[in-house]
Structure 1
Amino acid sequence: MTSSLRWKIALTTTAVCCAVAAVLGVLVHNEVAEEIVGQVRKDASRDLEHAVAHYTYGTTHGDVNSAVDPPGLPEALRRLVARGETGSMVGERTGKPVMWAAGPADGKALAVWLPYGATRDRLREVDTAILASAALAAGVVALAGLFLAGRISRRLTTTAAVARRISAGDLDARVGYPAAGPEERFRLHDEVRDVAVALDSMAASLQERLEAEKRFTADVAHDLRTPLAGSLAAASLLPEGRPKEMINDRLKALHRLTEDLLEISRLDAGAERADLTEVELGRAVRRIVAATGLPVSVTVARDAVVLTDRRRLDRILANLLVNADKHGGPPVEVSVDGPVVVVRDHGPGYPPGLIERGPQRFRTGDPGRGRGHGLGLTIVAGQAAVLKIGLRFANAPGGGAVTTLHLPGELPPAGS
């Protein structure tokens, strides 16, 4: 893109220079030609006056080329003289260019002529000089345009690369162009630097907000963990009955939420590291489905052995299955085809915002997908990033949410 911009700027400046050079060249050519040719016409008119004077008094002269109705006189000039007028024009005589001047004399055309070859050669030299100057100017401007456009292009390339790094999650990336100081206020305005400074400012502000959100999430989760443990222990001492069941149910839900928040805080901090081991994907999926106790059908088209973290893979698939059962609609289906695992339900599907931007904590999107804190899919996305699993959220053409996992590290079959 930037190289295209560089060439566009260079070509535009060159085209403008060529257009200006062409206009100036035409103006200079016209001015010079009018002056040079005008001088020759003036000389021809003077010689014609001498010739008319000599013709009137019947005398002869040897310093002027003149004749009455000479051969080679242009027809246009003959017609002009026939109307009683005097004029001049460029023509030829004996195959050589001359400047003709003619006037009426006793009903005939009295004409004089001057050599015009040297004048024509001079005009050509002037045109050659104009073209050479225009070509030189266009070349210099093109090189200058390429140089200046290259500088702009490199700075824009750097800014775009930093923007891509920020969008990919590297919030420490900065362009690093210094902001304009007070001493530079009288200089030309630098829009590229303004864009870079604005990008750095936006990244810094975004980083501060996200860091504050991460700290808040971690602090809340840690502060809740200790009193929750005490509350669970105290609830276990209550007498059996419906009140105890309700309290334990709510405390367990709050405990799960706290653990989810702690897990998200660790993922945000980049503290999670994968413990890779060989896993038979088909068997692992069946085991995870059985552990959830949910009515889910499993289809293994082609089994595969992958190098992944068994615990994190369990967490990802369990969250997807619970999310499909809670927010989707039956039947829930899981298929395994090599290193690709697809989880599908037949409910209302994912909301458009989740498909476009990915899962966001404390946002469940479409109310039709039920209630929740939006943490399950957020954990799925975070753990998938740790394992470098390709994750895609979509909706099936016939309805229902579809989540596709593409696991890396597929190992060749044994004995191959």
Structure 2
Amino acid sequence: MSRTMWGKLRGLSLRTGLRWKLSAAIALVGALVALALSLVVHNAARVSMLDNARDLQDERAQFAQRIYEGTGRLQFGAKVDDPNIPGELREKTAEGRRATYVAEDDEASTPDIWAAVPLKDGRVLSLHSPFRDRSATIMKDLDQALIIGSIAVVFGGCALGVLIGGQLSRRLRKAAAAAGQVAQGHTGVRVGEAIGGVVRDETDDLARSVDAMADALRQRLEAERRVTADIAHELRTPVTGLLTAAELLPPGRPSELVKDRAQAMRTLVEDVLEVARLDSATERAELHDILLGEFVSRRVAVRDSGIRVDVVHESEVTTDPRRLERILGNLLANAAKHGRTPVEVTVEGRVLRVRDHGPGFPEELLDEGPSRFRTGSSDRAGHGHGLGLTIAAGQARVLGARLTFRNVRPPGSSPEVPAEGAVAVLWLPEHAPTSTGSFPVLPFPKK
């Protein structure tokens, strides 16, 4: 086998379930035990039957000896000084002892049972007969029963392995699903409660460890969020005072620079506070019914009349207009800051797309999603603090929506080919996001 083929075989991975591994292990152990017991039973039964046959042959030889010495007649097929008597049996009778012997012949299907008795005149009377057909039939039936029993043990072991492995596998799958929900931010999910069950095993130890790890991680994240929120909150007052003081400066280029930096710092503080609120998972959406295409067209026109909005299919959605506007504004700001014109907005049913024709999103963002204070490569994110897309993703979670990012490349091109643009896609849910803790806002009746 060539090295290349061996490398490919080693690279292959076979994924099997726990229940089948346990079933195979129990079946293998059962087969080995059944084989060992079958061999032991077979040999013990054969030895016992041969011993009985030798005892019977010895008794026949003694009867034949009495008859021969009394009447001179040979019975039961006995012979005197038979030249075919086995050597080992001949040696024992030469010592004046009565003996039996089992002659195994590879060509014969059954062994011969010999018995020899020394006579008074020094000669040897012997007789032999094949192992009885009835005994051979009994051994054959016994072997057949052992084979059937071994097969039943193997299949029973497989069934037992599937049953035990299935129960353990279900518990592990429940634990994995609950751990996945914890990883997605569902803080109320407990792995130990998810797996349930009366019998306690190592799965419960694993669940307790995962729950403890999740609690520790949750406490750490909450502590970091509180520190971030506290710092941003403490900075809000001095930054507001700095911005107010900058308004009192005399007109000129230095005062414009101070105002610009002060305003940028105030925006940063507000964004950090918003991120902290989104991380706390306490934000709730105020739901209204809106026409998505009309809403997006109006907001984009107010922000930048040069951006084209294409409403492919109008749809009425139940969402929070303020948060939706925040997401749309951040996506447009990101496209304007890091991409190139033209910027295109498309509404198709419940799907909102924002595309630019710049160098595309950084690979880190496509792989891991938006991250605060990480703006990616210098060609697309040379300015800013990386909070715009983070806030957009957080607001999308509050709305129960899904925000995805991808780069546009020519059809069939490899990932090394430079991107021709970036697309951010917002997928609004079909139903109101009540799972996020949102609540509908009932409109007042018209007078």
Q: TM-score band (shorter)? A: 0.7 to 0.9
Letter in 1 for 2:220: R
Give the corresponding residue for 1:76.
none
Distance 1:46-1:410 versus aligned 2 partners, 3 A rule: closer
Paired AA for residue 352 in structure 1: E
Indicate which of 19, 24, 27 corresponds to 1:6.
19
2:398 aligns to what? 386
How much has 1:336 moved relative to structure 2? 1.5
Cα deviation, residue 327, structure 1: 1.3
Amino acid at match of 2:175: T
Q: CA deviation at 1:377?
A: 0.6
Aligned to 1:61: 74
Are positions 1:314 and 2:330 aligned together? no
CA distance in 1, matches of 2:110, 2:157: 41
Q: Match of 1:301?
A: 312
For normalisation by structure 2, the TM-score amounts to 0.71
Identity percentage over the alignment?
41
CA displacement 1:19-62 (0-9 Å, x = unmatched): 32123212331343244236536755886899899999994233
Distance 1:348 1:38, change over 3 A: farther
- Partner amino acid, structure 2, of 1:251: A
Q: Is the 8 A contact 1:99 1:116 kept in 2?
A: no
Distance 1:220 1:44, change over 3 A: same
Q: Is the 8 A contact 2:113 2:131 kept in 1?
A: no
Pairs within 5 Å for 1:169-180: 169-176=185-192
Instruction: Give the alignment of 1:317-396 within 5 angstroms.
Output: 317-370=328-381, 371-396=383-408
**Structure 2 portions without partners, runs of 5+:** 1-15, 90-101, 116-125, 194-200, 411-418, 433-447
**Does 1:402 find its partner at 2:418?**
no
Q: Residue deviations 1:158-203, cap 9 Å, x none? A: 42132112111023433349xxxxxxxxxxxx75455334322321
Q: Is the 8 A contact 1:339 1:410 kept in 2?
A: no
- Return closer, same or farther for 1:332/1:53 CA change in 2, 3 Å cut-off: farther
How far apart in 1 are the matches of 2:53 and 2:305? 107
* Structure 2 CA distance for partners of 1:83 and 1:144, relative to 1, 3 Å: closer
Larger mean Cα displacement after TM superposition, 9-18 or 248-257: 9-18
Q: Alpha carbons of 1:144 and 1:299: their partners in 2 closer, same or farther (altered >3 Å)?
A: closer
Q: 2:302 aligned to 288, 291, 299, which one?
A: 291
Q: What TM-score do you get using the length of structure 1 for normalisation?
A: 0.76
Question: Which amino acid letter does the alignment assign opposite residue 22 of structure 2?
Answer: I
| CA drift at 1:211 | 0.3
Say which SS state the counterpart of residue 191 (structure 2) adopts.
coil
CA contact (8 A) 2:308 2:343 kept: yes
Aligned length, in residue pairs: 376
Offset at residue 360 of structure 1 (A): 1.3
Query: Is 1:241 aligned to residue 257 of structure 2?
Result: no
Aligned to 1:30: 43
Q: Deviations over 1:61-97 (max 9, x none)?
A: 33x24589xxxxxxxxxxx96999998569xxxxxx9
For the 8 Å contact 1:348–1:369, the answer to whether it is kept is yes
Please tell me whether the aligned partners of residues 45 and 101 of structure 1 are also in contact (alpha carbons under 8 angstroms). Answer: no
CA distance in 1, matches of 2:137, 2:221: 78
Query: Which of 141-150 and 318-327 deviates more?
Result: 141-150
- d(CA) in 1 for partners of 2:64, 2:215: 92
Aligned to 2:5: none
* Alignment match of 1:282 (pick from 277, 285, 293): 293
1:253 has 2:274 as partner: no
Per the alignment, residue 222 of structure 1 pairs with 233
**Alpha-carbon spacing, 1:310–1:119, altered in 2? closer, same or farther (3 Å):** same
2:131, 2:398 → 1: CA distance? 92
